[in-house]
Chains A and B, each alone.
Chain A
Amino acid sequence: MTINPDLQYTKSHEWIRMDGDIAVIGISDFAQDALGDLVFVNLPEIGDNVTAGESFGDVESVKAVSDLISPVTGTVCEINEELLDAPEMLNNDPYGAWIIKVNNIDGAEDLLDPAAYEEHCASEA
């Protein structure tokens, strides 16, 4: 399992990177490995409001569905539509395959730095 040292993480295994005042959000390598082969991603619409700690979409494997939890409160300004046709990108390149971008950020969850996240993953494994 890899942890990207340049990102921050949530306890529910999303990663977040600030790109100016826009938050870029995806799922970690630990998450994609636990979920197995992903077959579909349910994305929000541009303009939807997301709330820190609440679901903004979900990812499906063959036999399971898992909520995607937003690390921040804000407005969805971009979605990665490529994932709709190629959900396997989340398995193959979890830190490259971002899911949504959020602006108008107004609050965030407690985020973990890479070291704290590694510890968190170890405790769940």
Chain B
Amino acid sequence: MGSYVPSTEEQRREMLQSIGLSDYRELYKDVPAGMYLDHLLDLPEGKSELEVSRALAAMAKKNRVYDTVLRGAGAYDHYIPSIVKQIPAKEEFLTAYTPYQAEISQGVLQSIFEYQTEICELTGMDVSNASVYDGATAAAEAAAMARDRKRRITLVSASTHPDVINTIRTYSYGTNDEVKIIPTKNGKTDLEAMKALLGPEVASVYVQQPNFFGLFEDADALSDAVHESGALFILGCNPIALGIMKTPRDLGADIAVGEGQPLGLPIGFGGPYLGFMATTQKYMRRLPGRIVGETTDNAGNRAYVLSLQAREQHIRREKAGSNICSNEALCALTASVYLAVMGPDGLAEAASSSMAKAHYLCEQLCSLPGISRRFEGEFFHEFLLDMPKPDKVLAALDEKNILGGLPYADGVLWCVTEKVSKETLDEVVSIVKEAIA
């Protein structure tokens, strides 16, 4: 049996005796007799570390690790520099609690302050929180923070990731608020349809940039219409794209959110990921979650603390805007290390290279007979293709240990990152060519 209890049998007896007890059962005297388990749980016997590592390795082996991943749809396989994996694995960062005790937590607090600054830089916003669970919950929290007593309805573009739409719906179901979906036109948010839905009860409009189909939305025009109606504009952004794309602030957003996973976190079968959230000065106090602020200590030295805590659940209880406490601090640290290693140039290169490679693959595939883009328009690193025999194509790629695009709405949604070489892309094109022949 494996155990992390250090006390020896003799010490345990000694400790029990010192508090006047002879048996562990006496510690649980308040547990009603009928409930106290008089048998062991139906679990396997404990194992040594060596046996456990074998068991887990065997499970991992049952998963297929593809050499190349051409699937995105919310989880993006970018290159993760080695040091980005090493630093968050340091035991101090890994095993600390939330930094409520500032004097013993300056390292964590400073790293969050640096993360907040980087998110503000990427989004062009004034204030970022310390993170939320993922991009979908960031979107749902943003929709909640945009509501006031009079404006309760959230509009969400149908070109948003389905999981994000469903999460916003679920949070709104909680507070009994309405969500309306804005239809798309040619794969993008339909401006006229949105205008028809806007009104005095609409609190905010959520749009994803680039959207679920990889297309760039006409955010400027959308934002103007949203603001004209008095609602807030929430933009969900891909953080890698932000290396070269106009900031959400410049595109008119009041709240910028997104899935931070592309910033150095592994795709990891869906998590842990990272939700980032930033807003303007005006809405600072509506932002949910932890926020680190700079101050001075009693000797006048620069110091960092968890600040504006009176917004949060442990103080405001049922009147808090959100119940969030634990967030994704270590993932935020990972993103921060990633951004420091990449720098402004490296991030821009990851973005341009992903975009260029996606365009290259798209052009090459579209030159094959029967393959075409579902929607026209400028795109980032994802594109939806209509193609013959998609099952056969994906199976042929699978055979070469390549994970092809995601079958979606009778088409295939492809994604290319900087990780994939031109050589591999050319190989993909020839495999597809053969499969559809």
Residues of A participating in the B interface, judged by any CB pair closer than 8 Å:
39-40, 58, 60-65
Contact = CB atoms under 8 A, between A and B. Distances in A.
Nearest to A39: B310
Nearest to B315: A65
Contacts of A61: 310
A75 to B, nearest CB: 15
7 contacts: A39-B310, A40-B308, A40-B310, A63-B315, A65-B310, A65-B315, A65-B316
Contacts of A62: 309-310
Given A58-B319, A63-B310, 11 more contacts: A39-B310, A40-B308, A40-B310, A61-B310, A63-B309, A63-B315, A64-B315, A65-B310, A65-B315, A65-B316, A65-B319
B132 to A, nearest CB: 22
Contact-size category for B: under 10
A54 to B, nearest CB: 13
B295 to A, nearest CB: 11
A63 B315 CA distance: 7
Contacts of A63: 309-310, 315
A76 to B, nearest CB: 14
Interface string B310-330: 100001100100000000000
A40 B309 CA distance: 11
Contacts of B310: 39-40, 60-65
A63 B310 CA distance: 6
Contacts of B315: 63-65
Interface in B172-212: none
A91 to B, nearest CB: 15
B290 to A, nearest CB: 14
Nearest to B316: A65
B12 interface: no
B246 interface: no
B13 interface: no
A57 to B, nearest CB: 12
Most buried by A among B308, B309, B310, B319: B310
B101 to A, nearest CB: 14
B389 interface: no
Nearest to A59: B310
Contacts of B316: 65
B285 interface: yes
A36 to B, nearest CB: 12
A60 B309 CA distance: 9
A59 B327 CA distance: 26
A39 B308 CA distance: 9
A58 B285 CA distance: 13
A63 B309 CA distance: 7
Contacts of A65: 310, 315-316, 319
B311 to A, nearest CB: 8
Contacts of A58: 319
Interface string B129-151: 00000000000000000000000
